[in-house]
């Protein structure tokens, strides 16, 4: 899934038009319009929200990050295995707001 830090989830993986191996990285940032985007390797620990979930294990992902150097928005894909852990927990949660 697309995940934009502090924004909603978008798609399962980087779309071909956003990947540097298929198209030159001259795309503009969807948030600020900057053409200063760069890929990085990432390490992200996803915690379940709320005090009642403090005992749940952290879900670790090690994605390629696409970071806008203009505004700081970052996007990454959550692999299927980790996504299923997040989705399984979501089935026991209250509906999203």
Q: Tell me the whole-structure pTM to 2 decimals.
A: 0.61
Q: Is the pLDDT of residue 97 over 50?
A: no
For the cut 70, the answer to whether the pLDDT of residue 85 exceeds it is yes
**What is the C-alpha separation between 68 and 89, in angstroms, rounded?**
31
In a 13 Å sphere around the CA of 39, the CA atoms on its Cβ side amount to 14
Under DSSP, is residue 21 helix (H, G, I), strand (E, B) or coil? coil
> Among candidates 91, 86, 82, which has minimal Cα distance to 63?
82
Site of tokens 């990085």: 40
pLDDT band at 27 (very low <50, low <70, confident <90, very high): confident
**Tokens standing for 36?**
């200063």
Contact yes or no for 57/70 (Cβ under 8 A): no
């Amino acid at each position: 899934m697309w995940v934009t830090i502090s924004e909603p989830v978008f798609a399962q993986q980087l779309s071909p038009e956003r990947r540097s191996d298929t198209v030159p990285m001259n795309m503009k940032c969807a948030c600020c319009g900057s053409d200063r985007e760069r890929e990085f390797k990432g390490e992200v620990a996803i915690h379940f929200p709320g005090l009642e979930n403090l005992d749940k294990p952290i879900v670790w992902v090690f994605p390629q990050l696409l970071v806008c150097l203009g505004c700081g928005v970052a996007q990454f894909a959550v692999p299927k295995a980790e996504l299923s852990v997040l989705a399984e927990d979501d089935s026991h949660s209250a509906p999203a707001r």
